[in-house]
Amino acid sequence: MTSGQLIPVNALGGALIVIQLLVATVIIILMDDMISKGWGLGSGISLFILVTIVKQMFAMAFSPFTLPGTVMPYGAIPALAAAIYYAMAGNLSYLMGILYQVNLPSLTGLIAQ
């Protein structure tokens, strides 16, 4: 039996994965009940979804790391700074490219959010 992700999984490993998912689901349901019973605002699951979205937006806006084979940072704001640097050096193509990038964070997406 293989999971297709990391390594082949035998029957014991598969059972442990199912148990882990079951325990994680029960913990999330209990946390949702705790938050919605007065320990927080709104639904707990909505808060978990909000935190995940904010984390992704923050990473896409401020990530200074570059993808392999590229010179521009992954995040939109560091990429803008790098594009301005390259524009001052005489290469305007990076500045025009940062406005709309396919499958990468762009200034258009940052402004839209």
User: What is the per-residue pLDDT for 5?
Assistant: 64
- Answer yes or no: do 107 and 58 share one domain: yes
Same domain for 33 and 57, yes or no, is no
Give me the pLDDT at residue 6, please: 64
Task: Give the whole-angstrom CA distance, residue 73 versus residue 7.
Answer: 32
Same-domain status, 77 and 100: yes
Same domain? 55 vs 22: no
In single-letter form, the type of residue at position 46 comes to S
pLDDT score for 52: 85
In this prediction, residue 88 carries a pLDDT of 92
Domain that holds residue 97: 51-113
Q: What is the pLDDT of residues 54-66, one digit of tens each?
A: 888 888 889 888 8
- Total number of domains in the chain: 2
pTM of the prediction? Answer: 0.57
In this structure, the answer to whether residues 69 and 107 fall within a common structural domain is yes
Q: Do residues 110 and 76 touch, judged by C-beta distance below 8 A?
A: yes
Which residues of the chain are modeled with pLDDT < 50? none
How many beta carbons lie within 10 A of that of residue 40, not counting itself? 13
